[in-house]
Every structure is written in C-alpha cells, then in structure tokens.
Amino acid sequence: MRIAISIGDLNGIGAEVILKTFSEHTILNRCTPVIYASQKSMSWWRKHLQLESFNFNSIPSIDKAIAKQINVVEVWNEDLEITPGKELPVTGKYAIKSFEAACKDVAAGKADAIVTAPISKKNVKSNEFPYSGHTEYLAKLFGGNEALMMMVSDTLRVGLATVHIPVQEISQNLTIEKVSRKIDLLAQSLRKDFAIETPKIAVLGVNPHAGEGGTIGQEEKTILIPAIQKAKDKKIMTFGPYSSDGFFGNASYKQFDAVLAMYHDQGLIPFKTLAFDSGVNYSAGLSIVRTSPDHGTAFDIAGKNEADESSFRSAVFAAIDIARNRQAYAEMTANPLKRNQMKIERAGGVA
C-alpha cells in the first residue's frame, strides 16, 4: 500500500517521528511511504538526528514512487531555514503545502491513505488557512462537511460529538440531529473500518453525573436520550448517557466497542491517560482514510532527539489496517455470496 505522509510543522517533532518510524525498515514490508516535503528538509533532519539508516528517493511526483522504499515528493525546492522549537508562520506555510499536496494525490486514488504529522494551528491560521485543523479541512474535502474525530487504541475507541470549540459553546452545538449523525458515523466506521459487524456504543453525558435526572442540566433529557433512542430505532446498539467520571473510573469502556464523548477534553483526557504512547487520531466518515499521532508539535522537545515515534508508527499501521478493512468490506457488501463464503471460512467450515 502507498501511504501519503504530510510533514507537519518542520520546527516541531513531525519530521523526527517520521524519520524514526521508517528507519526501522521492517515497516517497508507492509507499505510504501511517500513523504511530501523536500530533499533538503529531509536531509537536514537526517543529519541533525544522525539517522543514517533513513535513506530515501527524491521524486518529482508519487507516480515515480518505488515500492517498499522511502520516497520524498519534492513539494518545494527552495531553501527553508529549520529552527527546531521555534513556532514561526513560515513553517506553517510549508506544512499546508505538504498537506494539500498529499490530499490531492489521495483524492486522485494514487495513495491508499494519508497519515498527517502534527501542525501548529496558530501557524496555519496565520497563513490564511480557514480551518481549525486537519479534520475540518478533510471534512470539507472528503466528507461533505461531516466527519467524526476518533481516538483509537487497542483497548479504547473514542469519538467526539464536538471538536475544536470553546467550552462555553459546547451545549449550544449539541442537538438531537447532530448527536444522531455522530452515532451513525461511529457505527458505520466500526463496521466498515474496524470489521465489527454489530458494534456496541456508549454515549457520555455532557453534565456532571449525566445531569442527575435533570437537576444538573437538561441536555441529557432533551438531546442525548432522544438521540440514543433514534439510534436504537435504527438497530444500532447504543447505551447511555453515562457519567464520564464513573464510566472511565470503573473501566466500563471495556464493555463497549466505542464511546461517543460530547466534547474534546471529556474524551481525550481519559484516552491519553490510558493510551498516550500508542494512541491514534482517526478521521471517520470520510471517503478516504486518514490517521495521525495523538500528540501535537511538541515544540518544547523538538530537535532534541527525545520524541517518541510510537504513536506515529501506530498511525501508519492503523492506516494500513483500516484501508484493508475497507477493501474487504466493499468486497463483502458488493457480493453477498462471497460474504457468506467468508463467514463460513472464518467459522472453519466448508462451503
């Protein structure tokens, strides 16, 4: 599989985790990475980190990518001063160039998935990028303005009903229709992207103690319970709303295939506590496959050779697995006879 990789902010840890990931050459047995940057910038980081095992082909376009080798598409060839740890608008400009070039090739079907290294939202906004992050741009391009931000690990999957908005705006951004759509997207993704035929979903409340029957807020009664009922009417196994502190405190998440949180920190704080090193950010509900590590640019450690590449490596493997699951799902749903055959083979029987 060809995996398109955007470089992120070159003054952050994106390039470092990319180089460290692909310096372990066994990963090349599973994919062909295509990094969107420049030969000069990748050579600078290789020298700075002293990663001589990171050897790459500089190519003009993805069409020239060599299978099972590291390829770098020349998105720009001008000199760019790299100063690790400095949050500068200029690196935001090149992060956008890399990301848009990668998206273009994925949209054209020239890559099977995209993995994005972290960007600085402040830097890309200063370059008139009219989105608050990767997810919002991808939703516009590949999701008809609809996408679901998911955090994924081996033990936990968390979807977010709202994403990058101020806390004071959370409640007014929750409606029965919006929560219903997010449950639908989550259920569809679990079936199509994670091969879970009958997913079981938990929905978290927005107020403390899930509203205490309406004594601590009305959103559970007026929005969440009706949305959960709509999901049940569609035969989606949906339960809640649960108080998030008790839900994670007593490990109830282990009883579900995924959790829908109402806002960013409600979902990401427990997720990163449980799976920071191996967690993956996945954009569900898109026509393409996109993953990223679950951390940011980490300017405070950039260039110090301290960044842990585990999450980025997990993002690459997740992209491969999800793309393959989608292919299998498309084949099964297109051919009912083949689907029955696969069920028999999984059960160890003979058709």
- CATH code for position 319: 3.40.718.10
pLDDT tens-place string over residues 70-120: 999 999 999 999 999 999 999 999 999 999 999 999 999 999 999 999 999
Same domain, 6 and 80: yes
Mean pLDDT of 60-64: 97
Provide the number of structural domains found in the chain: 2
User: Residue 203: which domain range?
Assistant: 148-281
Written as six digits, the tokens of 150 are 């998911």
Domain boundary residue, one of 254, 281, 308: 281
Q: How far is CA 19 from CA 28, 54, 305, 310, in A?
A: 13, 6, 11, 12
Same domain, 250 and 303: no
Domain boundary residue, one of 281, 301, 321: 281
Q: Round to whole Å and give the CA distance between 39 and 78.
A: 10
pLDDT of 7 > 70? The answer is yes
The residue ranges of DSSP E strands in 234-289, in sequence order, are 237-242, 258-261, 280-284
Q: Evaluate if pTM is beyond 0.75.
A: yes
pLDDT tens-place string over residues 309-336: 999 999 999 999 999 999 999 988 886 6
Same domain, 210 and 306: no
CA nearest to 32, candidates 71, 2, 6: 2
- % residues pLDDT > 90 (the chain): 82
Domain boundary residue, one of 263, 281, 299: 281
Point out the least confidently predicted range of 11-20, 27-36, 144-153, 340-349: 340-349
**Vertex 284, ends 335 and 221: CA angle to 5°?**
110
Same domain, 2 and 140: yes
Number of residues that make up the chain: 351
- CB burial readout 157-186, b (16+ within 10 A) else e: bbbbbbbeeeeeebbeebebeebbbbbbbb
Q: Round to whole Å and give the CA distance between 8 and 120.
A: 8
Q: What is the pLDDT of residue 342?
A: 57
Q: Number of C-alpha atoms within 13 angstroms, CB side, residue 286?
A: 27
